[in-house]
């Protein structure tokens, strides 16, 4: 019994753990090898489906662009539809009621919202999940200024989910503003942004700060 | 011999039902049971993990030192959960979108660790797998009942997401949204637990009376 806590005791325990973790890691590596391609394929087709729901039918070409975008903009694509430039599409991550919402927001070359496609979300079924309904999403079409709650019809019982989509659209609009050639679009939006500022005092801090940044960029 | 397995099956599904009797793993239960399809998906994922982890832990039970057994169990369980997560993402993509967050959380689902500790680490592989299966099916059974009630009243549909979707006309237009919320889940579950206990007690009384 004296030897119980000797070196061999710890060696034995350590080695057992090592063997078990190595076994599990090996199994995971094997499963990963089998499933990785399929998972990537699924994610890509999901993203393409979302882009399609924004731009409709037609030959769509996308090209990834880089730039200084807000943190929650995951991917920025410049979109060509049937060979003609059709603005930009931003992949935005926004936090809803049930976790992350990943969506594609299409912005026309003139800075107005083309449409929204939800890629991934886990909002409550029957409540928050209704933000992916066409009736809710279509109201964003044509908007070009940073939105506040008073600009949209929020879904009853799903304020958090509705606002999450709104914040996502705002992030996409911000991202668009930071791409080249968007000066005219933001200048036109200037007056409208200020008036919404004054009308809603309930706007949360994050929206206000985005408002401020839009105004800042206008003055340049 | 045959009776032993039958007893394990009965225990898992009825007398020691993980949800209705043991009240284990309620967090994911309340969260995912908004529709029948989600319930079945979650139930089967848990069943798969339970069977695999029970088998593995039972096989390794003499090899795992007592002092670090919990660490070993968790490593094995999380390994299987991650594997199931990847498989669902690859082959049941639609399901993974709704269950998404809850699959990784199976790791901390108490049912699995409880079965590893209470059964698999003390029994031979075959009964352990049967136990995993029985507990998993008991879990799925409870989830499906809860999911069916919540989907029926909360959304006015049944089996939505499959080919056999049933829509209940009046309820679909004006669903009782309370059933979809977590509060509704708790209350539905409470009533179900009461009903289940009543039925089990009655059944046992009857069995005792027959013995006499």
Domains in chain A: boundaries: 57-219
What pLDDT, on the 0 to 100 scale, is given for residue A49? 84
Chain B contact present for A11, CB below 8 A: no
Q: How confident is the model at residue B1 (pLDDT cuts 50, 70, 90)?
A: low
| pLDDT value of position A4 | 65
Which comes out higher in pLDDT, residue A184 or A161? A161
CB distance A17–B71 less than 8 Å?
A: yes
B60: distance to nearest CA of chain A, Å? 9
Give the mean model confidence (pLDDT) for residues A110-131: 82
Q: For B53-209, where are the E strands, in sequence order? A: 157-158, 166-167
Measure in Å the smallest separation between the Cα of A132 and chain B Cα atoms. 13
Lowest mean pLDDT, pick from B36-50, B128-142, B170-184: B170-184
Burial of B3 (0-12, 13-18, 19+ CB in 10 A): exposed
pLDDT at A190: 41
Residue in A13, A34, A35 nearest the CB of B65: A13
Q: Give the CB-side neighbour count of residue A201, counting CA atoms within 13 A.
A: 0
Chain A CB within 8 Å of residue B70 CB: no
The answer to whether B64 faces chain A, any CB pair under 8 Å, is yes
Query: Which residues 6+ apart lie within 8 Å of A78 measured at CB?
Result: A62, A63, A65, A85, A87, A88, A89
Query: If DSSP states are collapsed to H, E and C, what string results for chain A?
Result: CHHHHCHHHHHHHHHHHHHHHHHHHHHHHHHHHHHHHHHHHHHHHHHHHHHHHHHCCCCEEEEECCCCCCCCEEEEEEEEECCEEEEEEEEEEEECCCCEEEEEEEECCCCCEEEEEEEECCCCCCCHHHHHCHHHHHHHCCCCCCCCHHHCCCCCCCHHHHHHHHHHHHHHHHHHHCCCCCHHHHHHHHHHHHHHHHHCCCCCHHHHHHHHHHHHHHHC
Contacts of B98 in chain A (CB under 8 A): 122, 125
Domain count, chain B: 1
- Full residue range of the structural domain in which residue B179 is found: 2-211
Which of A14, A15, A24, A120 should one mutate to test binding to chain B, selecting the residue with the greatest count of B CBs within 10 A? A24
Asked whether residue A161 carries a pLDDT value surpassing 60, the answer given is: yes
* Interface ipTM > 0.90: no
Q: If you average pLDDT over residues A76-98, what whole number do you get? A: 84
Q: Is B90 on the interface with A (CB under 8 A)?
A: yes
Q: What is the pLDDT of residues B178-191, one digit of tens each?
A: 888 888 999 999 99
Which chain B residues are Cβ-neighbours of A12 within 8 angstroms?
A: 65
Given a cut of 50, whether residue A203 has pLDDT beyond it is no
């Amino acid at each position: 019994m004296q030897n119980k806590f000797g070196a061999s005791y710890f060696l034995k325990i350590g080695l057992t753990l090592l063997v078990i973790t190595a076994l599990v890691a090996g199994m995971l590596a094997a499963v990963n090898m089998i499933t990785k391609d399929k998972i990537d394929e699924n994610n890509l087709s999901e993203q393409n489906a979302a882009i399609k729901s924004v731009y409709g039918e037609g030959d769509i070409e996308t090209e990834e662009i880089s730039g200084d975008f807000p943190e929650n903009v995951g991917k920025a694509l410049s979109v060509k539809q049937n060979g003609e430039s059709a603005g930009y599409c931003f992949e935005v991550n926004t936090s809803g009621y049930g976790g992350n919402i990943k969506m594609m927001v299409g912005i026309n070359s003139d800075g107005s919202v083309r449409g929204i496609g939800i890629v991934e979300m886990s909002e409550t079924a029957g409540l928050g999940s209704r933000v992916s309904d066409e009736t809710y999403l279509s109201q964003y079409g044509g908007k070009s200024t940073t939105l506040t709650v008073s600009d949209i019809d929020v879904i009853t019982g799903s304020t958090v989910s509705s606002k999450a989509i709104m914040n996502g659209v705002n992030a996409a609009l911000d991202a668009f503003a930071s791409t080249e050639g968007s000066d005219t679009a933001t200048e036109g939006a200037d007056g409208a942004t200020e008036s919404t500022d004054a009308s809603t005092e309930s706007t949360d801090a994050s929206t206000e700060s985005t408002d401020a940044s839009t105004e800042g960029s206008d003055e340049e | 011999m045959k009776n032993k397995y039958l007893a394990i099956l009965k225990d898992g599904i009825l007398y020691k039902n993980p949800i209705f009797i043991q009240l284990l793993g309620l967090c994911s239960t309340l969260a995912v049971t908004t529709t029948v399809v989600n319930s079945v998906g979650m139930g089967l994922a848990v069943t798969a993990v339970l069977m695999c982890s029970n088998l593995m832990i039972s096989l390794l039970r003499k090899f795992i030192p007592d002092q670090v057994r919990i660490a070993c169990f968790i490593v094995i369980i999380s390994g299987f959960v991650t594997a199931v997560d990847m498989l669902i993402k690859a082959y049941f993509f639609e399901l993974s979108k709704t269950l998404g967050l809850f699959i990784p959380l199976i790791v901390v689902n108490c049912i699995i660790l409880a079965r590893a500790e209470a059964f698999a680490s003390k029994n031979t592989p075959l009964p352990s797998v049967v136990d995993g299966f029985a507990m998993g099916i008991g879990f799925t059974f409870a989830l499906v009942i809860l999911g069916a009630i919540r989907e029926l009243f909360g959304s006015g549909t049944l089996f939505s997401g499959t080919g056999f979707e049933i829509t209940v006309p009046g309820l679909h237009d004006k669903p009782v949204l309370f059933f979809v919320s977590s509060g509704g889940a708790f209350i539905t579950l409470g009533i179900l637990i009461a009903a289940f206990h009543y039925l089990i007690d009655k059944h046992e009384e009857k069995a005792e009376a027959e013995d006499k």
